[in-house]
Amino acid sequence: MPVGLKCPGNQYGIFQKSLISLNRSSTIKSPELVFSSTIHEQLTKLKTSRISSFVSNSFSFILSSSGEDRLASTSPSGSPSPSRNECSITPLTPSPSPVRSKQTQPCVARPFSVVVAIDFGTTSSGYAFSFTEDPETIHMMRRWEDGDPGVTNQKSPTCLLLTPDLRFHSFGFAARDSYHDLDPEEARHWLYFDKFKMKIHSTSDLTMETELESVSGRRVRAIEVFAYALRFFREHALKEVKDQSSSVLEGNEVRWVITVPAVWRQPAKQFMREAAYLAGLVTPDSPEQLLIALEPEAASIYCRKLRLHQVIDLSQRPVINGLDVDGSRPFDSSFRQAREQLRRARHSRTFLVESGTGELWSEMQTGDRYIVADCGGGTVDLTVHQIEQPQGTLKELYKASGGPYGAVGVDLAFEAMLCQIFGADFIESFKAKRPAAWVDLTIAFEARKRTAAPGRANSLNISLPFSFIDFYKRHQGQSVETAMRKSNMNFIKWSSQGMLRLSAEAMNELFQPTINNIIKHVENLMQKEEVKDVRFLFLVGGFAESPMLQRAAQNALGRNCRIIIPHDVGLTILKGAVLFGLDPTVVRVRRCPLTYSVGVLNRFVEGRHPRDKLLIKDGREWCTDILDRFVSVDQSVALGEVVRRSYTPARMGQRKIIINIYCSDTDDITYITDPEVRKCGAITLDLLESGAVAASAGDNDKGPAFERREIRTTMQFGDTEIKVTAVDVATGRLVWASIDFLSN
């Protein structure tokens, strides 16, 4: 059991053992991986190597303080209240609000020659790049082979196919088509993953061991699936970059950007970074080579470059019952024009952007507010920005919000409709035993879904695979036509040509729940004080191409603001991610999505603190589990602003300091044991690697040199990821510091 340390003056120290989690690989140095070896094997080897390098020991520490009677409490996860003879630490000059530090100003660590952005979407993904010597030119990836008739193939479906022995086979259209061509019995042994990004959003306890289930039911670690997909894009992007580069590029000359939804929390962002390390995009030794971009933020960065002829302004055309006053359909006609312009531009696959801000922004004045709604396949993400003239930087006015209201919601509604007609048990059985045919059915629905428009009179035909009709007949003892009649769903008919005929009413029923969620969320956001009087609403993302969503947005929101849709709406995020990689400082101020804190001990005040929080140590009364906030929910934090805390090792020879981090969706909290508070991560300070242990080896545990040992920790909350650095004050040496949100 650790013992107390006598500190001079009004410094107090009490100790507690802290456990270290060994089940992650955030600092694995990932070697170059080739597709001939499986990521599964590499992950196992690297993880084993990483764990063996840890010292499996318990560590204790003290947080030093000056001028305040406060102690930090690091209760073990799962233990709501610390043992009365086990606690720790005293804070040093807690910083209630971030302070600016010149040392933490955003900077580029090396002269990157090219920025490559990967828009990793739920339904489709793609990449683009720009050379830093020509930042106004964005190069889009090559047009994908194969693809769907009538559907633009500038991006590839987010589909992955692994062999039965967990080796990479293909990605995108190739994966989908290869899986389709497999024999049904053979397909049951292969692993096909589709729309798997949503799993990361929906998993509340995301870790490196989180698994994904393939269409055939087999499971594999999610980190492996994402790493395979990212490595696929790495191989393709680097080949194309090298083809267009006049000089030989080294790996460290490439800056990578990966997009994620703004509503994703820190574990999901860290998960994508870990997957990128495993895929070989960058190594943990060069974390600055990889940026995590927030999708609506990237779209906002690109929108500020738009010229008037590059957008559709829905608010400028009065609409009655989905039609222009002259009887034409604005949604269909405007997007036909936009698609034609985009088709011509894609021959060169090169887009030019403004060197400054675009014409649209000339109409805005300092202080004007706008919303960007990223309507993607899985989620809808909203961010509220204010442009700062004349420099054109952006300021976030309200924390990012949104939810799982993407186009996948329409797919799920279609599946629910099939379950209602044919029975949920049958649909589940069909998906498991005829997985390739199920994929065919989803592709057929996707093609018709894209053509749905308000005011459409004729029905939409969706072909049922023959295996569906045959499987239902053999297993249910009746025909599909009979099932249709018994379902009493009058707006869905059966065609003798083997098709489901969905009336306009039926398609409207499939779209409305998802669209209503989007509209309601935007309306609620507009009621916030920080968001009132917004001038523009930018609709971006693949789902924003839907005339159904456009009409609903125009009818519900068009009177309050101008609704703008970029012509290349499905590529807006990708282009903005490239621009973000070229200048990560363009968003100057962000809002904290959560309250982050640690637990501390304060002087116990009778009548103010509950008796069950009382701790008596060395004759003094302390209140345990008090929250010491780093930042508060929805607090504005600028780039370069930091929060500092200082920690002192509790004993000579201590090798690590572990500090638990707690978070909450509200700021109305007092203790780490409050119901709204949860442990979300931990900061690790590795004293052995920093040389701090060696520097104090000659001092005994009560000597003056040891008492002065101070590890100054700096945390930055103003970026898209939370970052931590540390320095040993006595020696001036950097301390290896990491922040982990995946090992809870």
| DSSP assignments along 638-700, one per residue | ETTEEEEEEEEESSTT--EEEEEEEEES-S---BTTSTTEEEEEEEEEEHHHHTHHHHTTTS-
Q: Three-state SS string across 105-138, please?
A: CCCCCCCCCEEEEEECCCCEEEEEEEECCCCCEE
Q: Give the whole-angstrom CA distance, residue 397 versus residue 250.
A: 39
Q: Residues 358-367: pLDDT tens digits?
A: 666 667 777 7
To which residue do tokens 């739920």 refer?
A: 122
Q: pLDDT band for position 577 (50/70/90)?
A: very high
Is residue 41 within 8 A of residue 690, CB to CB? The reply is no
Q: What percent of the chain has pLDDT over 70?
A: 75
Residue 582 in this model has a pLDDT that exceeds 70: yes
Domains and CATH numbers, the chain: 114-296 (3.30.420.40), 408-511 (no CATH), 594-691+706-738 (2.60.34.10)
Give the pair of three-digit tokens for residue 518. Answer: 């989007």
Residue 339 in this model has a pLDDT that exceeds 60: no
C-alpha dist (Å) from residue 112 to 116, 293, 484: 11, 17, 60
Residue 127 in this model has a pLDDT that exceeds 50: yes
Q: pLDDT band for position 368 (50/70/90)?
A: confident
C-alpha dist (Å) from residue 631 to 5, 628, 647, 661, 716: 30, 9, 19, 12, 10
Phi, psi (rounded to 5 degrees) for 38: -85, 145
Q: Residue 420's closest CA among 511, 499, 492?
A: 492
Residue 377 in this model has a pLDDT that exceeds 60: yes
Q: Three-state SS string across 129-178, please?
A: EEECCCCCEEEECCCCCCCCCCCCCCCEECEEEECCCCCEEEECHHHHHH
Q: Residue 72's closest CA among 659, 654, 727, 643?
A: 659
Is residue 39 within 8 A of residue 160, CB to CB? The reply is no
Across residues 105-134, what is the average pLDDT? 83
Q: Give the whole-angstrom CA distance, residue 74 versus residue 130.
A: 46
Q: What is the mean pLDDT of the chain?
A: 78
Q: Give the whole-angstrom CA distance, residue 478 versus residue 482.
A: 6
Say what the pLDDT of residue 569 is. Answer: 87
Residue 235 in this model has a pLDDT that exceeds 80: yes
**How does strand 323-324 pair with strand 114-119?**
unpaired
Say what the pLDDT of residue 330 is. Answer: 44
Across residues 400-424, what is the average pLDDT? 92
Residue 77 in this model has a pLDDT that exceeds 90: no
Number of H helices, E strands in the chain: 20, 38
The residues, any chain, with a CB within 8 Å of residue 283's CB and separated by 6 or more, are 29, 30, 277
The residues, any chain, with a CB within 8 Å of residue 497's CB and separated by 6 or more, are none
Q: Residues 255-271: pLDDT tens digits?
A: 999 999 999 999 999 99
Q: Residues 156-186: pLDDT tens digits?
A: 999 999 999 999 999 999 999 899 888 878 8
Of 405-414, 558-567, 579-588, where does mean pLDDT reach its minimum?
Answer: 558-567
Whether the bond between 390 and the residue before it is cis, its omega within 30 degrees of 0, is yes
Q: Residue 685's closest CA among 718, 663, 704, 709?
A: 709
Say what the pLDDT of residue 387 is. Answer: 84
- HSE-CB of 567 using CA atoms within 13 angstroms: 21
Say what the pLDDT of residue 185 is. Answer: 82
Q: pLDDT band for position 559 (50/70/90)?
A: confident
Say what the pLDDT of residue 126 is. Answer: 93
Say what the pLDDT of residue 46 is. Answer: 52
Q: Give the whole-angstrom CA distance, residue 433 versus residue 419.
A: 16
Of 219-223, 276-280, 599-603, where does mean pLDDT reach its minimum?
Answer: 599-603
Q: Give the whole-angstrom CA distance, residue 142 versus residue 126.
A: 10
Q: Residues 492-544: pLDDT tens digits?
A: 888 878 888 898 889 999 999 999 999 999 999 999 888 888 888 999 998 99
Q: Give the whole-angstrom CA distance, residue 129 versus residue 619.
A: 64
Say what the pLDDT of residue 365 is. Answer: 72
Is residue 715 within 8 A of residue 706, CB to CB? The reply is no
Give the pair of three-digit tokens for residue 601. Answer: 């001990």
Q: pTM for the complete prediction?
A: 0.81
Say what the pLDDT of residue 435 is. Answer: 83
Q: Residues 633-669: pLDDT tens digits?
A: 999 999 888 999 888 887 777 888 899 999 999 999 9
Q: Residue 83's closest CA among 11, 17, 13, 6?
A: 17
Say what the pLDDT of residue 18 is. Answer: 29
The residues, any chain, with a CB within 8 Å of residue 478's CB and separated by 6 or more, are 472
Give the chain's length: 744
Q: What percent of the chain has pLDDT over 90?
A: 42
Q: Residue 319's closest CA among 336, 334, 307?
A: 334
Vertex 530 angle, CA 100 and 567, to 5°:
95
Is residue 648 within 8 A of residue 617, CB to CB? The reply is no
